Amino acid sequence: MAKHHVTATVNGDVVEFLCETHQTLLEVLRDELGLTGTKEGCGTGDCGACSVTVDGRLMCSCLVLGVEAEGKAIQTIEGMAVGTKLHPLQRKFLEHAALQCGICTPGILIAARSLLERNPDPTEEEVRYWLAGNLCRCTGYHKIVDAVLDAAREMRGG
C-alpha cells in the first residue's frame, strides 16, 4: 500500500509529506519535516509536551495522525518567533526564568498562546487550569504562571 500524500500548512507554509497511517502528527513534524521543536514526552496525551494547534485548536500532536493533517493549518513552536524577534511569551519566559530543562517549554508556550488568544486577561486560576495538561517536572509551575500573566499584561498594552 502506498504511503499517504498529505498537503498541509505548517506555520503558514504549505508543506507536503508522505506518511504511513500509524504515524502521528508528532512523528511527521519531527521525522519527516525536521521540526524538532515539538517534543515527545509521554506519547499518550498526558504531558502536553507535543502541544500544537490544528486549525486554531490546541491538541497533543501525539494523539493526531499525520494523515489527519490533510488540508489543515498547523502551528508549532517554530512559528512563534518572527525571525529573531521573540513572541512576548517567549521573552517573558526568559525574564522570569520560567524554564529549566526546557523539554516542556515549547508545548507550554503553544498552550499559553492559545489561552491568550481566547482570553487576553486570564486570572492566575484560569492560567493554571488551562495549563493543567502541560506537565513540568522542573519548575514547580510558579514562574511559568508568572511569565504567562506578565506576557498577557504586556500584550494588552498595560
Partner 1 sequence: MRKMRYEAPTTLEAALALLSGANGQARVLAGGTDLLIGMRAGRVEPELLVDIKDIPEMVSIVAENGGFRFGAAVTCMELVEHEEFAKAWPGVIDGVRLIGSIQVKGRATVGGNLCNASPAADSVPAMIAAGASARIAGLSRKRETRVEDIATGPGKTSLAKGEIVTSFLLPRRPPHSGDAYLRFTPRTEMDIAVVGAGVNLTLDDSGVCSQARVSLGAVAERALLVPEAAAALIGTKVDAAALERLAAAASAACRPIDDKRGTKAFRFKVAGVMARRAAEVALARARKN
Give me the residues that bind partner 1 (CB under 8 A), please: 1, 4, 20-22, 24, 43-46, 48, 51, 57-60, 62-65, 67-68, 70, 111, 114, 129-130, 132-134
DSSP state of 101: S
Concatenated DSSP letters of 102-142: -SSHHHHHHHHHHHHHH-SS--HHHHHHHGGG---SSS-SH
C-alpha cell at 15: 508543506
Q: Which is closer to partner 1, CB of 37 or CB of 133?
A: 133
Q: How far is the CB of 11 from partner 1 (least distance, A)?
A: 19
Give the nearest distance from C-beta 63 to partner 1 in angstroms: 5
Closest approach of Cβ 99 to partner 1, in Å? 19
Q: Minimum distance from CB of 17 to partner 1 (Å)?
A: 14
Q: Is residue 86 a contact partner of residue 77, using CB atoms and an 8 Å limit?
A: no
* Range list of β-strands (E), 32-99: 51-54, 57-60, 73-75
- Choice between 99 and 108, CB closer to partner 1: 108
